[in-house]
Amino acid sequence: MDEIRVENVVKRFGAVTALGGVSLEVAKGELFFLLGASGCGKTTLLRCIAGLEQPTSGRIRFGERDVTGLPPHRREAAMVFQSYALWPHLSVERNVAFGLEERRLPKGEIRERVAEALELVHLKDMGERGIDQLSGGQQQRVALARALVVRPKCLLLDEPLSNLDAKLRVEMRREIRRIVKEGGLTAVYVTHDQEEALAMGDRIAVLNGGVVEQVGRPDEIYRAPCSPYVAGFIGETNLIRGRVEEVRQGYVMVGTELGSLVGRMVDPLWRPVAGDLVILSVRPESWRINSGDTGNSVDGIIEERSYLGPTIQYRIATPCGSLRVSEMNPHVVREPGDAPVRLTARHADVVAMRP
């Protein structure tokens, strides 16, 4: 399978700019996620890669081949839609074979390739069934098999799990990743579900307003967000404003309404100086309650708690607003209004960003 390169792609619909100069590289065999809120441009970008939309400017390449002006059927890309788009009057086998029949391949080759595709998605004994005899997850597998049977250069998926219930979504995450990796596919997957992207992706591009905010591995995006938007969109976080007091060896001391806090700088292109405005991001699980640890510390009182089994989520009132705090596998359940608590967070768990 080929790598995919998106080079400064702009897409306008009249006066609306859906993509404002997007550049990305998707490596051969990579499961790459386009993540963002509704209207951020992720589906428009996917449709440009598929050939269903033409960029206003910019280039799209599959390997060394410029496919910008090619129609979808000449790009050798297969797309899986949110709606599955299966033919209800055809059997599973005929649905999967449809694209091969349109290409007028020999019947023997069609049978062989359909059998291979159904086995890859674990449906090898269901070829004769009707679509209405399948569960939602099985229908999704048929849609995947139909895309894979044409042996595409890349696989494009547009929110394929959004119509499934929560338990089935988790199961299908594993299945889609297995299929992509076993088939050696280059895949681009659109979603607004942060957990889905973190669980499945090799790398993630976070889009906002038609531009790319950050690209990285799931752990990089979560642990080292480069902007307040990324920090707030990927999981939960506490955003704390302040001004730089001192910069030293990759860390910055920031004066805030909660006192002086120290965080690490993760953007290699950003060099703040004393007096600059800064936003600190602290994940709820980064705080420790009454641990005695050294590092950043804040005093407060528990005003709300939510017991979730593996975790307890607290809202801690401070003199300058509330903080969200999570404890994993807690042995002690703290109640609102108990004695004041001290929160601590390691300097490495606090990320400093430009506002």
The CATH number of whichever domain residue 345 belongs to comes to: 2.40.50.140
Domain co-membership, 162 together with 256: no
Domain co-membership, 246 together with 280: yes
* d(C-alpha 291, C-alpha 192), whole Å: 36
Residue in 6, 87, 91, 1 with CA at minimum distance from that of residue 45: 6
**pLDDT tens string 206-250:** 999 999 999 999 999 999 999 999 999 999 999 999 999 999 999
Per-residue b or e along 325-335, where b marks 16 or more CB atoms closer than 10 Å to that residue's CB: bbbeebeeebe
Domain co-membership, 194 together with 323: no
User: Looking at residue 57, which CATH number applies to its domain?
Assistant: 3.40.50.300
End-of-domain residue from the set 207, 228, 249: 228
What pLDDT sits at residue 273? Answer: 95
Domain co-membership, 193 together with 256: no
What pLDDT sits at residue 81? Answer: 84
| Cβ proximity of 281 and 225 under 8 Å | yes
Domain co-membership, 264 together with 198: no
Domain co-membership, 124 together with 177: yes
Domain co-membership, 264 together with 331: yes
End-of-domain residue from the set 190, 211, 228: 228
What pLDDT sits at residue 1? Answer: 64
What pLDDT sits at residue 327? Answer: 92
Domain co-membership, 308 together with 184: no
Q: Indicate the pTM of the whole model.
A: 0.89
Q: How many domains does the chain have?
A: 2
What pLDDT sits at residue 284? Answer: 97
End-of-domain residue from the set 228, 257, 290: 228
Domain co-membership, 222 together with 339: no
Domain co-membership, 130 together with 255: no
Domain co-membership, 218 together with 253: no
Q: Which domain holds residue 304?
A: 236-353
Domain co-membership, 14 together with 108: yes
Residues of the chain with confidence (pLDDT) below 50: none
